[in-house]
Structure 1
Amino acid sequence: MIRSCFSVVLAAVLAVLLAACGGGGGGDGAGGKTEVVVWHGYADAQGENFTALIDQYNREHPDVNVTQLVTNSDLVLQKVLTAVRGGTPPDVAYMFGSWSPNIAEIPQVVDMKDHVSQTGWDWDDFYPAERAAATVGDKVIGVPALVDNLAIVYNKTLFADAGVAPPTREWTWDDFRSAAAKLTDPAEGRYGFAIPADASEDTVWHYLPMLWEAGGDILNSDNTKAVFNSEAGARSLTTLQQMAVTDKSLYLDTTNSNGSKLMNSGKVAMMVTGPWDLSTFTDIDYGVQILPTYAGSDGGHQTISGPDNWVTFDNGDARRQAAVDFVKWITAPEQVKTTSLATGDLPTRSSVGHDRAFVDELDKKMPGTGVFVENLANVQKARPTVEQYPAISEALGQAVVSVMLGESEPAQALDAAAATADAALAEK
C-alpha cells in the first residue's frame, strides 16, 4: 500500500540508540545447516502464505534453515541499522522502496547487481518501475518483493442513479472533473471524488501521476533541481483546484482515514486508490478503471507504483550465498503466482502479469484486481531515489494541499515548493 514513513533519514537514525535486535550474525545452525534469518511485517494471509513458502523451501533445501522474525514494517530500517551497529543484521529483510537511498549507504547490504544479471534471475522480467526503485546509482540494493499502483475505483450504482456513463479508458481529466461534479450532491452530503489531503506522501502520490500525464516531472535528469513547478505542474494542480475550490466536488480527507469509509457508505462516488482497498468495499458494487489523461499531452495514461524490496545482508560467505539463493527462489515466477493468488497482491513479474489465465483467476478472487495488474504497464516513471526525497515530498505535499484549500494559486505554491526542494538538493 501507499507508505508515508519518509521522515526516516539515515544520519538521524544512526544517531538514535535503540535496543539491539537479534536475528543475524553467527554461523551454521543445528545439524550444520546454514541459517538464513528473514525479517518482515507480513500478517494474516500474507503471513500464512510466507510461512508456507518458508516451510516448502526448507523441505526442498535440507542444507539450509530459513527462519523468520515478524516485526513492524515501518520500523525495519531503524531496527536494521541498530542490528548492523551491533553486528547482528538479518540475512534478508523486507524494506520499503522509498528507503533505497538510505539502504545503499549501509556497508553490509549486498549489491545484487552481479547476481541479478546471472542466468535464471531474468531481471528484466521485473517491471521497470520495480527495478528503478531497487537501483541507487550503480547499485542494486534489493529484489522486488511487492508492487502496487493507483487506478479509479467507482461506485457503479451512484453513476447509474445520476445518469453518468462510467469511466472508460479514453477518459480525460476534463471527463473526470465533469463526472465528479454531476455525482456531487450537497443535500445528500455526497462528493464525486475524495483525495488524501494531509500533505503526506499519500497526497503527493495522488498528484504525481497527474503531473507525469501532463508532461511534467519531479526533478531534472541528473536529480539536481526541481522541475515540478512547470506548465505541466500548474496544469495538473489546477485540475485539483477546480474540483476542490470551484466545483466543490472533491472531498479533502485531511486525516487520511475517511476516504474508503465514505466510499463504502455511498458518500463518495470515486476514489483513486490501490488494490489494497478493494477488500474494504463490501457494501457497494464497484468498478475499476485506469486513470484519465490530459487531452493533447504526450504523457498518455500513467500511474504510480510503490515497489518494496527484499534486501540481503552480508553475514559471511555461506550465509550471504544462502540468503541470495532464497531471495532468488522467493521471487521466482512460481512463487510470485502462489503469493498473488494467496494474498491478492499484484504479481511482481511481467511474465506472470501477462498470463491471462492467472490474471482471470486473480480477478475472480478479488474483482477489479485484473485492471490493477494490467495497469502495471502504465507505470512509466518512479520517484527519484535521492536521500533528499522526504524533504521534496513534504514541500510538494504542502503545496498541493494549500491549493486545494484555496489558500494559494498553483504556480505560486509550486514555485515555493521547488525553492525548498532545490535548497535540500543543494545540501548534498
Structure 2
Amino acid sequence: MTTLLLNARLIDPETATEFRGSVLIEAGRISRIIADGDALPKADETLDCNGKCLAPGIIDIGVKVCEPGERHKESFRTAGEAAAAGGVTTMVVRSDTEPAVDSPETLQFALRRARDVSKVNVLPMATLTKDRAGKEMAEIGFLLDAGAVAFSDGDAVNRNNKIFGRCLSYARAMGALVIGHAQEPVMSDGACATAGPFASKLGLPAVSPMAERIQLERDMALVEMTGVRYHVDQLSTAVSLPVLERAKAAGLPVTAGVSIHHLTLNELDIDGYRTFFKLKPPLRHEDDRIAMAQAVASGLIDVICSLHTPQDEESKRLPFEEAASGAVGLETILPAVMSLVHAGHLDLPTLWRAVSFNPAKVMGLESGRLAEGAPADLVLFDPDKPFVMDRFKMLSRCKNTPYDERRMQGAVLATFVGGAQVYSRD
C-alpha cells in the first residue's frame, strides 16, 4: 500500500532546509520526495497536509517507562500513546526501573512488552553496573546481544573512578555507547534548587552549578583515557559548556543533550514551592537557560530530549524538599520546543536536527531524516496553533507536567511510524 502526503511544508534537518512538497510512502519507507509543482504520483491513500509542517518523527533519548515495578506511574502502552500524541516516533527508554534493567531477562521482558503494546518504536538502555550500584559491571556483552542500545546508570553517578574507568574500557572494547549524568553526587546530595539568592530566599538546600562542571570534567578525562563513545544525558549550566567544547575540539567521541524543561524554564518557576517544577538537575538561572539555547543553535549541544519522568500525585504532593523530582514530557516536547522558534532562538531545520537527526546519529539509527529510503517515521504539525495545556487531558498515566495551564503554540496533527498512522488529532 502506498500513501501520499501532499501539500506539506517539509522540514529537512539533514540539509537544513524547508520547502513545499509532498512525500510518497511505500512499504514503510519514504519512496519519493516530490517538490512543489512536480507531477504527483498515484497512491492508494492520499492525505492533504494543508500546508502544515511535515518532519521526521522526534527521537527522545532518556524516556522513563516504569514497567516493570511501577506500572501505576507509566506502562509501555500509556507511554506509547503519549509519545504518538507528542510526535515522538522512537523512545530510547531508561534502565532505572524497579528492578533495574541489568540482565538479559529483564531487557527481553521490556522488549516483548514494548513490541506487544507500544504504538511507537522502543529502544532499551541497560545499566552499566548491576542494580546501578556502581560496584560490579553489568553483563555488557550479553545485554548487547539481547538488544541494549546504550548503557547508563542514570542519575546514580558512579563515585569510584577505578570501577567506572573499567566499565568504560569494556564498553569501548564492545563498541557500546555509554550515557552519563553530569552531577557531582556529594555536592548534589539533598539539593533541590540551584545555589544563589533565590534559593536562599526560599530556604531550600541548593547546589552550585559547578557540581555539573566538576562531574563533566571527570567524565571527559575518563573518556579521553578509554576512548569510549559517550553521551551526556543533559547539561544545564553555562559553566559546563567550555568543558564540552574542549572535549569536542580534542576529537573525543562525545555528544551532549539538554532537557526541554531546562531550555524553557528557570529557577524562578519554583517560586511558591511548586513541586511540578522540581527537577533533577534543578532549574537554573535565566542566563543558563539562554546559554543552553544558544549552544543548541550553534550545534555544541547535539540533542534536545524530554527526560520524561512520571511521578504520581502522592510523590509530588509533599513539601518541596521531600517531593520526587521529574516531569513528564512526551506530549509536551513539541509545543515546548516551538517556544524556542517563536522566541527567535532556533529555526525549524536547526531545531529538528536536535530532536530527530542528531539523536538518530547518536543511536546509530536510519531514521531522523527526510530522505528517500529512510523509514517513514514522520510527524505532521501546526507550528502556530495556540492552546492551553490541560494536564488532565494528557495520555500519560501520570500528569506531572510543569506546563499545566500554560498558553502554548504548536500542535501535533498526525504521527506516522513505519508509514502507519498511529495518531490523529481530532
TM-score (norm 1): 0.24
Bigger radius of gyration among the two: 1
More helix per residue: 1
